[in-house]
Amino acid sequence: MKAPPALATDPEPVISLHDAPALAALAREHRTDPQHLAKLTRRVLQHGDDFCAALTSLKTPLPAPLVARLTPGALILVKRRDSARDGATKLLFQTRAGERIESVLLRARSGRTTLCLSIQSGCAFGCSFCASGASGLRARLTLDEVLAQVIHGRQIAASEGLNLRNLVFMGMGEPLAEEALLHDCLERLTTATLFGFSPRRVCVSTVGLPEEMVRLAQRFPSVRQALSLHSAVANERAALIPVAREHSLDDLRRAALEVTRLAGGRILIEYLLLAGRTDRPEDERALYAWLDGLSAHLNLIPYNPIWRIADHTPTPHSAALAFARRCRARGIPTTLRRSLGTDISAACGALTP
Ligand code: SF4
């Protein structure tokens, strides 16, 4: 009797360059000095070198079967759009499952280079001013997919002689709704032997999930938090941010106080200026009262009209400047954000899957 044909076995799983325990096991399996593998990891994750170029430039080549197990990243860069006006570049990626996500590379005149990351494709929260929310949640992302945005961002920055040192989780998706994934990302991003970002240069933006904010500050006290307050009037805030119905402004303030206590520093408060909705005298009074006693930096954001969302009007620039002046006069550290990437739909709230 003939022997049955051998069963096909699953291919061995690929290993990411930021998975330290799996890399250590892989080095053992192939009797390779883990330091050689660490050199490759450092060059790709920290210096922004291209995977193949980094591989061929190693003085001691890695065994081919080991290399075959490595994956340089989980995303395909489908398209990039460079702003004609400022230093913003929008990066459109595709996941292996065919979902689209966007990141934005921001080059400030000061030389500071920042990557704005997405943690989901689309978003379930449906804030009324945000294009990501208008499309609903399209897909959740894996750890590899979130971190692949950083690998690409660092590579593009390095190819221009820039050092990507700052990250903001302000792209598609509410980061605190993906708490476990966010914490895993932060762990790897701030590990010195992996991506090596300083936690102080990483900022997580949230529309305000109080318990998750406190847990984030407990585990990563140096990671900065930005709270999208946008209104300190409960009804108005709930109209702008549906999830605000579940968390009172008092709960949010208590969480913000706890975050500043744990961080030993200020929390960033984002405030969208919308004509007749968040810039009236009563809005200003409510904002002052909410900020009273809180160690905060107020960032006023001019609204970017988005074609799909028609019922908001930006506060005129002169009125925004006056709003900022009055806040400063009350002793609140305040900036009026200059949005980059408005000509390529890459500014705040404009990312779509
Ligand atoms: S602002 Fe943030 S939480 Fe709200 S819909 Fe947009 S991505 Fe989601």
Tokens representing residue 192 in the block: 């010195």
Query: Is residue 351 a part of any domain in this protein?
Result: no
Asked if residue 164 and residue 21 are part of one domain, the reply reads no
Asked if residue 132 and residue 196 are part of one domain, the reply reads yes
Query: Is residue 335 a part of any domain in this protein?
Result: yes
The best mutation among 101, 123, 176, 304 to test binding of ligand 1, ranked by most ligand atoms within 8 Å of the C-beta, falls on 123
The best mutation among 130, 204, 206, 309 to test binding of ligand 1, ranked by most ligand atoms within 8 Å of the C-beta, falls on 130
Query: Is residue 196 a part of any domain in this protein?
Result: yes
Neighbours of 64 (CB within 10 A): 8
Query: Is residue 98 a part of any domain in this protein?
Result: yes
Please report the DSSP string for 139-207 in residue order: EE--HHHHHHHHHHHHHHHHHTT----EEEE-SSS-GGGGHHHHHHHHHHHT-TTTT---GGGEEEEES
pTM beyond 0.75 = yes
Asked if residue 90 and residue 26 are part of one domain, the reply reads no
Give backbone dihedrals phi and psi of 5, rounded to 5 degrees, phi first.
Answer: -65, 145
Instruction: Tell me what pLDDT residue 309 has.
Output: 62
Ligand 1 mean position to 125 CA, how many Å?
6
Domains in the chain: how many in total?
2
Instruction: Tell me what pLDDT residue 3 has.
Output: 47
Tokens representing residue 303 in the block: 């609204």
Euclidean distance between CA atoms 285 and 120, whole angstroms: 35
Query: Is residue 111 a part of any domain in this protein?
Result: yes
Q: Which atom of ligand 1 is nearest to the CA of 171?
A: 7
Ligand 1 mean position to 210 CA, how many Å?
16
Range of 134's domain?
A: 76-344
Euclidean distance between CA atoms 328 and 334, whole angstroms: 6
Instruction: Tell me what pLDDT residue 12 has.
Output: 74
Asked if residue 57 and residue 80 are part of one domain, the reply reads no
Instruction: Tell me what pLDDT residue 4 has.
Output: 46
Instruction: Tell me what pLDDT residue 72 has.
Output: 79
Query: Is residue 203 a part of any domain in this protein?
Result: yes
Q: Decide which of 33, 48, 71 is a domain's last residue.
A: 71
Q: Decide which of 71, 88, 116 is a domain's last residue.
A: 71
pLDDT averaged per 10 residues in sequence order, the chain, 353 residues: 47 87 96 94 96 92 94 90 89 94 93 95 92 88 97 96 96 97 98 97 98 98 98 97 97 98 97 96 98 98 72 93 98 88 64 64
Asked if residue 56 and residue 89 are part of one domain, the reply reads no
Asked if residue 314 and residue 293 are part of one domain, the reply reads yes
Asked if residue 157 and residue 62 are part of one domain, the reply reads no
3-state helix vs strand vs coil in the chain, percent to 5: 40, 20, 40
